[in-house]
Amino acid sequence: MSRFQRMPAGGDVPRDTTHEAQFRRPTRSARAAEDIRSAHGGRRLAAGVTVASVAIVLAHLLHAWGLATIFPPGRGPGPAWIAFGLVSVGAVVATRGLSRVPDWVFAALLAALAVPIWLDVVATDDLLHLGITPTAAPAAAALLMPVAALRETHGPLAASIAIAGVLTVQALLQAPEAGTRTVIGVAIAASAVVPVVLVVIAVRGFRRLVGRELDLTLVQSTVSTPRSAVGMRASEELAELDYDAEALLDDVGAGRIVLPLPPAAAERAGQLAARLRVRLIEGRTDTWLRHAVTESAYLSRRVTIDDPAGLAGLLGPGQRDGLLLALWLIAGQRRAKASAPPLRVLVTCRDADAEEAGPDDGRLYDGTRVAIRFDVSGVTVRRVDEATWEALDNVGRHDAVAGLDGFRIDIDCRIDPTSRAGTATPNRAARPRGA
């Protein structure tokens, strides 16, 4: 069978809205994610950006040195650059050792930068016809480049746009006298915002890359879990339930709550018992795949798991890793156009042997094959990375059926009996196929 086929008409992928709620990462993985983002997406990235910022500042300083001789008497770039030097030293001291610039530090930095910018604009006003342009003001915008790597990028970008706007207005107001030299003034204004824009693009792309790879690393821990086990979020809830139950029993044992229990205490005990029963029942079919999707910031918004029997837990470590990577690569695809439906992936796991067996088939179920199906909408099969098919090769034989705005992947996964050692399959191992 060919890998790529045509999906029949009317084969729309069911859309699920259960994952539209806001994602909340488990506390332990959230703490690890924040630590790694701070180290790799903060100070280390800012160090490289700082080198580029210093180079731009030095270029503007050399420009100011060359213009100093043609300034009219009583005017010059000196006061603005002295103020800029003081602000730069203060910024370095205030942000030293920080992985994130607080809002109050950023606000104080903007207020301080207004001084050299104002001094520079006043010193160069009405001098563009002589070829004199601001130098300390665009250098002040360059100082925002490392700040963009240490906090949200919107603030530094907006500040640099504001600085460029002031310099542009100053150049355009002098256009009647400056003539063609107005272009030089506009170019200086552009030099205040373009480097910051490039840094913002690089920082956002780097953070997106680090976030995706970090999220994949965190959820890959589910690959080695037993067939039926609670995930990090469920374990945190069980720990809370255990603490609440222990506190209630301690109150009863110490006599703070008398027996029989008052209505309020009895209702509290009933709620704890109900939540515990629900969590234990869910744990019977909650497999590594469901935990991986639930605990991933990217998969939880796009992937839905339909595996009522918990068959994904039968997969071996290599098959699990390939299946998770394939899901990751598919869910990470971008839509071809904005009008396309949101990307959705429905993963269905069924007993392939039971589906193929007829009602009169007397053979016994051996549990060696699982049929896994991906129903993908919002992205075409042509946009799927080639590494996806290589990952699925580790899961089993697979065929792709293309559709208009999506595709379907059917995977015939054979289970290694050694991978099911020590796992129980209640009420299924000896039942007739097709029963």
Please write the tens of the pLDDT for every residue from 202-235.
Answer: 988 888 887 787 778 777 777 776 555 554 555 5
Check residue 277 and give its pLDDT.
60
CB-CB contact of 105 with 90 (8 Å)? no
Whole-number pLDDT of residue 297: 80
Residues 6 or more apart in contact with residue 237 via CB below 8 angstroms:
275, 279
What is the pLDDT confidence band of residue 270, given thresholds at 50, 70 and 90?
confident
| Least trusted range by pLDDT, from 82-96, 239-253, 256-270 | 239-253
- Say how far apart CA 343 and CA 177 lie, in whole Å: 56
pTM, entire model: 0.66
- H or E, element range at 158: helix 154-173
Residue 411 is predicted with a pLDDT of 93
CB atoms within 10 A of CB 73: 5
Integer Cα distance of 3 and 66 in angstroms: 67
- Report the b/e string of 163-186 with b at 16+ CB within 10 A: bbebbbebbeebbeebeebbeebb
Using only C-alpha atoms, the chain has a radius of gyration, in whole angstroms, of 31
Count the Cβ atoms, other than its own, within 10 Å of residue 6.
Answer: 11
Q: Which residue has the tokens 């990235």?
A: 45
Identify the residue with better confidence: 119 or 238: 119
Return the higher-pLDDT residue of 208 and 97.
208
Confidence class for position 161, pLDDT limits 50, 70, 90: very high
Q: What share of the chain is helix, strand, coil (3-state, %, to 5)?
A: 60, 10, 30
Least reliable range by pLDDT among 12-21, 207-216, 239-248, 351-360? 12-21
Contacts 24+ apart (CB under 8 A), 125-128: 125/170, 126/174, 126/177, 127/71, 127/72, 127/75, 128/170, 128/171, 128/174, 128/177, 128/178, 128/181, 128/182, 128/184, 128/185
Q: Is the model's pLDDT at 36 over the cut of 70?
A: no
pLDDT of residue 352: 78
Of 132-136, 199-203, 290-294, 327-331, the least confident: 290-294
pLDDT band at 280 (very low <50, low <70, confident <90, very high): low
Residue bearing the bigger pLDDT, 297 or 18: 297
- For 41, which DSSP code? I
Q: Which tops the pLDDT comparison, 136 or 99?
A: 136
What element of type H or E holds 399? strand 397-402
Mean pLDDT over 10-21 rounds to 42
The percent of residues above 90 in pLDDT, for the chain, comes to 30
Residue 25 has pLDDT above 50, yes or no: no
Residues above pLDDT 70, as percent of the chain: 69
pLDDT at 246 over 70: no
Contact 174, 206 (CB under 8 A): no
Specify the amino acid at residue 133: T
Of the listed ranges 18-27, 232-241, 367-376, the one predicted with least confidence? 18-27
User: For 243-253, what is the mean pLDDT?
Assistant: 67
Q: pLDDT at position 94, please?
A: 86
